[in-house]
Amino acid sequence: MNNKNQITSQEEFFMNIAIEEAQMGDFPFGSVIEKNGKILSKGHNLGIKLNDPTAHAEMMAIRNYTAHYPAENLMDATIYSTGEPCPMCAAALIWCGIGHIVYASSIEELSSHINQIMISCDTVLDSANFRKTKITGGVLKNEAIRLFKK
């Protein structure tokens, strides 16, 4: 995983948009999928409104995209998520061929707010024998944690 001093201003730019998106969520999680500087889709948690426990921000960003455009375009895109993706979202992003996952706060950092732990995103990504996905954590993590205090 990259450490904080490798975080780029582009990563902060798109994470800020993910943080805006999170504020519309049933739980304060938001995601933005970007490629070549262009936003392909956004998503926020709709677990309650859609009555669907799998409607995490990352899954909604994927669904919002694949509902209209070829999934192939997601290959080598980057996703910005306000929280570390759970194993469902991490593996979904692998299946979509996303090249880079950038998140704000880790599951561990959010554990006082969401006491629901599963294996780390890193573990899921490392286990995939058919695709290598880059991961960067900690981009605007304090801002993302603050969403839980509102």
Using CB under 8 A as the criterion, which residues of the chain lie in contact with a second copy when the complex forms?
Answer: 50-54, 59, 62-63, 66, 70-71, 86-92, 94-97, 115-119, 123-124, 127-130
Smaller CB separation from a second copy, 46 or 140: 46
Residue closer to a second copy by CB (options 9, 129) is: 129
Q: What whole-number distance in Å separates Cα of residue 26 and Cα of residue 24?
A: 7
Smallest distance, Å, CB 99 to a second copy?
A: 14
The residue among 10 and 118 lying less far from a second copy, judged by its C-beta, is 118
d(CA 129, CA 142): 33
Minimum distance from residue 93 beta carbon to a second copy (Å): 9
Catalytic residue among 21, 34, 58, 84: 58
Distance in Å, CB of 64 to a second copy, minimum: 11
Catalytic residue flag (residue 12): no
* Residues designated as active site: 58
